[in-house]
Structure 1
C-alpha cells in the first residue's frame, strides 16, 4: 500500500491502524520503492537486536527502499555497518565519546542555554527552534568536534540545509554535503598538525595511532554521523519536548513545581514524541518471519520506533502524556548494539534546555494557530518552527 503521504501528515494515526490490522505491512516509501513496516513493540524490539536484519546495503536487493544515499566518503558509518566492523568502530569511538566527557559539559551547556535565553529579553514572542532548540545543540556539537568559532556560521547554514531543506532550492542539501566534506577534510588536516582537547582530535588520534583501525572514509563518515545524530536529533528532541509540554499545561505545571523530575520526564517525552519515527532501514540476510509475516532476504524492513512506543500492549493509554509513567524500555533511541551512541549527550542537553527555559519564563504558550510547522518526513519527527509567547514576570 502507498502510505508515504499519510505517514508524513498523520504518522500516529496510520501506525495505530496498521498495528490493529496486522503487525507487518508492505508499503511504498517516499522514493516509490517497497518496504516492510513493523509496528508492534515486541516485534520492533526483537528486530532491533536481530543479527539477521543487516544494516549493510550490500545485503539489499535492487529495487527496494534504501533511504538516504551519501557519497562513499560519508557512507562508511555505523548506520550502514554490521559486526565485526560495527563492533570495531564503535569500540574505537567509545574511547573518545565517554560519559566523563558528557558530564564535564553540563556546566557549559547550562551557561549556553542561559546566554541564548538572555538574548530573548523578559517578554515577547519567538520561534524557539531558530532561537533556542537549534543553536544550543549546534554550538555544543561545534565545541565537541572543535569547529573554530569563525566557521560556525557556515556550519549552522549547512546543517540547516540538511534538516530543513528549502523547497525553492532543491540542490541545497547536496551542496551542503559537498561543502561539509571540504570543510572537514581541511579541519582534519589542521587538527593533525595542531591537536586540541576535542572529540575530532581524539578520533584522529585513534585513526593515526598504532592500535587504531579507522580508515580515512571511516573517520570522515563518523564525523558526519556525529554531526547529524548529535545535532539534528537533539534539535528535534528538544523542540518536540517543549511543544508537548505546552500542549499539556497540567504536566508543565507539575515540572515547574518539582524541577527535579525533569530528568525522568525526558523518557516519557521522548517515548511520546521521539525524533525518529523509523529506525534505520534493515535488510534480512535470509528469509525471516516477523509477526507471522514472511519477509524474503534482501527486502527492506522498517522498524517503527514511534509505533512501538505507542503500542497499548506495552504502554497503557499510550497516546497520553503521563510524567508519572515508568517509560523506561521505550525504543525512541534504539535498542541493542545500535543503541544511539550520543543518547547520553542528547538527554543531558534536553534536560538542561527544559530546566533553563522553565527557570527563566513563568509563562509560556503557543503563539497562535500558525505557531507550529513540522518537517515533512516519513522517517523523522521534528519541528521547523515553534512560535511561543513568553514572559519572565510573576504569575498573576
Structure 2
C-alpha cells in the first residue's frame, strides 16, 4: 500500500489556529480522509465533511477505549494516573453503555431545567460586578463566560466554592495543554482532589449530582466504582464548563463581526434559540472530536487508515460543509441550523448539551438586554487562541460598553 503523504496544516495556512475553516475546506475538496500534521507537530488522520464525519462517529472500529486498546499517553500525558481511571468518553460499549446509563439517571432533563432560575441569578450577579467597573471595559471570558458555567457545574456537582479557581487551571491544561508535563500535573492534581471530595461525600452526602452518582444504583444493583466516580466527575466538570465558555465567547465574536445579525437579534429576541444553534454550527466550541484509535484497517473515501492510527473527526468542518448547509461560511441567525454536530453524533453525543444550551440562551439574552452598547475592544487578529485542535476559543475577549 503506498504511503499517504502528510499534509502540514500550518504550511497550508500559518493562520490555521485562528481560522482553520479555509484549510478544512481545501482538504474536503480533495477527499474526506487525510494524514495531517497539527500545529503541535503531532501526526494523525483527519476526517472532514459532514457525511464522512457522521459516519466516522458511528464506526465501532474507531475506538475511544484507549485504556484497553492503546496507550493513553498518546492523547494525554497522564503518567500512572490512569490506573483504574475510567469515564464514558474513553469507553466503548458495553462499558460506555453502562457508565452513561448510571450517570444519566442523575443528569436528567428535569434537573437541568430546574437550574434555570439559579443560572439567571448567577448571570445577573456576574453582570452586576462586571458592569460596575468604572472603565466600562472587561475581559468577557474572565468576568463572565468562564465563571458562569463553572459556578453552575460546581454547584450541580457539589464542588466547594473555594476550590473552583484551581479547576480553571487544571481544566485548561487537560483540554489545551501548554506542555505535556503541565498537563500531567493538572490531571494528577484534579483526580487527587476529586478522590478526596468523593470520600467526604460518601460519609456526608448532600443534595447534589456527585452525591447522587455515588449512591446511584441501577435495576440490576450496579454502581459506579471509586475510580469511575473520579473519572466521571472530572469529565463532567471539564466538559460541563468548557463548552459553554466557548459557546458564549465564539458566539459573541460572531455577533460582533456581523453587526447586521447583532442588530437583528436585539430587535427580535424571539430569534435567540435559532441564534444559539447557528453559533454552535458556525463556530462551535469543539473543533474536532476527542481522538479515536483505529482497531483494524479502515477504508474511508477510497483511503485506508491503518490499524493503530489516531483519528480526529473535524466537527468544525462538517458544520461548514456546503453539501449540508447552504452558504455555510455565512453567519445567519435566521438559518435552520438543526442537524449540526457541534455536540457530536452517535453514542458519544454530549450528555451536557441541554445544560450548555440553557446557559447559552440565558447568558446571551442577558448580555444583549443589559449591555446595549457591548462591542469588541480589540482587533480580531489580536486575540489569543487556545492551542490544539480540541477546544476552539480565545483566552481573553476584551469588550467595552
Q: What TM-score, normalized by structure 2, do the two folds share?
A: 0.89
Question: Is there any run of 5+ residues in structure 2 with no aligned partner, and where?
Answer: 1-5
Instruction: Pick one of 375, 378, 391 that aligns with 1:380.
Output: 391
Counterpart CA distance in 2 for 1:73 and 1:286 is: 25
Q: How does 1:344-383 map to 2 (within 5 A)?
A: 344-369=354-379, 372-383=383-394
Q: 1:171 to 1:299 in 2, by over 3 A?
A: closer
SS at match of 1:289: strand
- Residue 394 of structure 1 aligns with which residue? none
1:27–1:34 CA contact under 8 A, matched in 2: yes
- Residue 302 of structure 1 aligns with which residue? 312
Counterpart CA distance in 2 for 1:192 and 1:60 is: 32
Give deviations 1:191-238, integer Å, cap 9, x for gaps.
111111111001101279971232221111000101110011221111
Instruction: Pick one of 152, 156, 160 that aligns with 1:144.
Output: 156
Q: 1:65 to 1:20 in 2, by over 3 A?
A: farther
68-77 or 236-245, which deviates more = 68-77
Q: How does 1:1-396 map to 2 (within 5 A)?
A: 1-5=6-10, 6=13, 7-29=16-38, 32-57=41-66, 66-70=74-78, 71-72=81-82, 75-121=85-131, 124-162=136-174, 171-206=181-216, 211-369=221-379, 372-390=383-401
Q: 1:371 to 1:356 in 2, by over 3 A?
A: farther
In the TM superposition, residue 46 of structure 1 has moved relative to its aligned partner by 1.2
SS at match of 1:385: coil
In the TM superposition, residue 159 of structure 1 has moved relative to its aligned partner by 3.4
Counterpart CA distance in 1 for 2:261 and 2:85 is: 41
SS at match of 1:373: coil
Q: 1:58 to 1:287 in 2, by over 3 A?
A: farther
1:284–1:297 CA contact under 8 A, matched in 2: yes
SS at match of 1:268: helix
Q: 1:46 to 1:161 in 2, by over 3 A?
A: closer
Counterpart CA distance in 2 for 1:181 and 1:283 is: 24
- Residue 3 of structure 2 aligns with which residue? none
Give deviations 1:222-276, integer Å, cap 9, x for gaps.
0010111001122111111111111111111111111122122111111011111
SS at match of 2:374: strand
SS at match of 1:159: helix
2:67–2:90 CA contact under 8 A, matched in 1: no
Counterpart CA distance in 2 for 1:56 and 1:164 is: 21
User: What value does the CA root-mean-square deviation take over the aligned residues?
Assistant: 2.4
Counterpart CA distance in 2 for 1:247 and 1:375 is: 20
